[in-house]
Every structure is written in C-alpha cells, then in structure tokens.
Structure 1
Amino acid sequence: MPTGVHLRDVRTQLFDAAERILLRDGPGALTSRAVTAEADVAKGVLHKHFADFDGFLAELVLDRVDRMRPRFTALREAAGTGDVAGNVTEALTELFGSVAVAIIPLITFRDELRARLREHVPTGVPILSEAGTLLAAYLAAERDLGRLAPDADVHVLAGTLLGGTHLLFADRQGPRPEPAAVHKAVTTVLAGARPS
C-alpha cells in the first residue's frame, strides 16, 4: 500500500476511519491496527505521522472539537431568532448525534489520552467543555436580548443542558432519543430561566 500520501490527506483518512470505528463498534474496538485497516493504509502509516496511538487519539479529539465549533458559532449568531429551546435542542441533538457521544467514553477510558488532552483543555472533557462554553455564550446573548431572565446563570444552564442531553444519547446501542424527548429535557431545564 502506498505511504507517500500527503500528511493532511493521511490525517483526514485516519481520523475518518477512527470515527467510523467509534460509531460502529465503540471505543473498545479502537486500536491502531483497526484504524489503519479501516483507512486501508499500511500498518506503519499511523505511527509515521503520530508519535504514538494516544497522540493520534488526542489529535482526533481536538480535530472533532474544531469541527463542532462552527455549529455552536451559528447557534450564537442565531440569538434573537426562533425559539430558544428549539435552537438549543437542535444544536444539542446535532452534537450528541455525532461522534461526540462515542468520544466521551474514549476519553474517560484512557488515562494517557486524558493527560495529553489536559495540555490543550486544562479542565473537563474537551468536547463537553468547549460545547459548554459555546452554549453558555449563546444563552448569555439570549439573556442580554431579554429572552432569558436577567439573573439566569448561563453556565449552570449550559452544564445542565449538556449533562441531561448526554444522558439521553449515552446508550449507543439503543435507539436514538425522539426529538420530542430532547426538546422536553431542554424546555424543562430552561423553564426556570424564562423572563417574568
């Protein structure tokens, strides 16, 4: 198999292969051999471009965090439009309907991966930490527009929304939660933050 593929293309190919394995088989199936087989590249390609497997996984997580940001930037820019609960429901459904729900247990399971990620994200789980910050920014914008109560604690709301929604999506083997169930969880959390 050719190994002279441009670094960027190989990274993308390997990351996409790892994502497919995570979504299909879960974090326990993710090995360097499984990734290179799924990507259809020589076994040594991964280690040619990454110091070790945990280095690869850290770069995968950070890449997926970067891919998540535009969705939450769009959410922030949507402040003042649509329904707050509807906007949040849509963003969280997209977040947890992606590879994020499989990456969270991967980070929890691998001590060395968590240590590597601490260099980039000092506290929390990277995908959830970033999503929480971006969701809080959206909620703050809605609060500033008077669509949430002036005393609404947007950081507590964001954390509660993320935690509650993650629980709905956490069972990768079961059916995805119905949109109505996600919306109900979001509206319940936001109920106390409605302006009077």
Structure 2
Amino acid sequence: MSPRGVAIPDIRQRLFTAAEQVLAREGPAALTSRAITGEAGCAKGMLHAHFAGLDEFVAELVLDRFARTARQAGELPAVVGRRTVAENLVAVALALLTSAGPTVAGLAVTRPAASLLIRRALEAGAPGFATIQGSIADYLEAEERLGRLAAGTDAPAVALALVGTVHHLLMTAPADAPDAREQAERLVAVLLGGPSPHA
C-alpha cells in the first residue's frame, strides 16, 4: 500500500491493469472501486481522485486500450515488405483481441453510461476501430503496390472485415473461446484467400 500523500507514478495505468486482473479473476460483477484500488495496492479513494466515477473509469480503460492498438496499427507502414502480409495482419488482429479482451469490451456494453462516454469520445476523434481500420487499409494498399498482395484487392473491405470480425469476437466470445492466435490466423487466411493454417 502506498503511503498517504506519496504520489504514485502512472496511477491510471496501474488502476487499469488492476481492473483487468479483477475482471479476469472474478468477472464484471466483482468490479468495484474498492476491488480495483485494493488490487492496485493504493488508497480506496484513489480511483475517484482521478475519475468522476466507475463509469468514467470503465470508458477511459476501454478508450486507452483502443488507443494502444491504434498506435500499433499505425506502425504498419514500417513493416511494409517485411515478414509476410498474413503475419503482419495477424499481429494487429491479436493486438485487437487481447488489448481490450472480451471481458473488458463486454463490460462497457453492460454499463450504458460508460458506453455513451465511449461513443462520444470516438465521435470526437478518439482513436478506435475506425482509426485501426484505416491504418490496415493503408498498409494493404502499400503491400499491393509492392506486389505482395493480389492486384485489385479491395483493401478497405479486407480491413473492414478484419476489424469487424474482431469486434464481433470481442463482444460475443465465451470464456472458453478458442485460442486468440488460432482465431486470428484463420481469419486472416480467409481474408487473404489462402488455406487456413488450422484446417
């Protein structure tokens, strides 16, 4: 437990990580301010010192994880021509599937006030699925220009299908869902028109 009055570096990320640990271990019903701060090892009022309440906290957690994945997708131009197109797309799909796992994404849906805050932030320009989709489409177009992707590939449609399917998996995947990597590899193989690696 941090001593009273001592600043805690990166407290937001510490609270976000603690919330994910509570969710993974005990599920959404156990997510309370007290559970989060207890898991983070900080004072009980720390969450409310940084967020207006639990709904704002949940919204900021989801938005933070979206932004992290958007940054990773934004780095795709640096890997154009390197590894395989499939490997690069699988890496982004995995980042999406794991950055705001099904439990975190599902939590936002069960909290209408948090969902509204997320929607407003995305409409105001916060990075989310649309940003990630745009980065993937740009990457695919660059790979097509290099000849590493079939000429005439509808890059925006492939990007939409990839992001949309991952969004569906995030919102509906049961706790015993197949391994995220296997799902990502199968999806990318279908989208690129190749054989599934797990057929």
TM-score (norm 2): 0.78
Please, what is the CA RMSD of the aligned residues? 2.9
Q: Paired residue for 2:43?
A: 42
User: Is residue 62–residue 105 contact of structure 2 (8 Å, CA) maintained in 1?
Assistant: no
Q: Paired residue for 2:197?
A: none
- Distance verdict in 2 for CA 1:73–1:54, change over 3 Å: same
Q: For residues 56-135 of structure 1, what are the structure 2 equivalents within 5 Å?
A: 56-122=57-123, 127-135=128-136
Question: 1:117, CA displacement in angstroms?
Answer: 1.6
Q: Structure 1 stretches of 5 or more lacking a match? A: none
The 2-side partners of 1:60 and 1:178 are apart by 21
Q: Paired residue for 1:188?
A: 190
Q: Paired residue for 2:148?
A: 147
User: Is residue 55–residue 114 contact of structure 2 (8 Å, CA) maintained in 1?
Assistant: yes
Aligned amino acid, residue 23 of structure 1: A
Question: 1:104, CA displacement in angstroms?
Answer: 1.9
- Distance verdict in 2 for CA 1:161–1:52, change over 3 Å: same
Question: 1:3, CA displacement in angstroms?
Answer: 4.2
TM-score (norm 1): 0.79
The 2-side partners of 1:136 and 1:80 are apart by 15
Q: Structure 2 stretches of 5 or more lacking a match? A: 195-199
- Distance verdict in 2 for CA 1:181–1:53, change over 3 Å: closer
Q: Paired residue for 1:177?
A: 179
134-143 or 21-30: bigger deviation: 21-30
Aligned residues, how many? 191
Question: 1:189, CA displacement in angstroms?
Answer: 1.3
The 2-side partners of 1:34 and 1:152 are apart by 48
Question: 1:112, CA displacement in angstroms?
Answer: 0.8
User: Is residue 100–residue 127 contact of structure 1 (8 Å, CA) maintained in 2?
Assistant: no
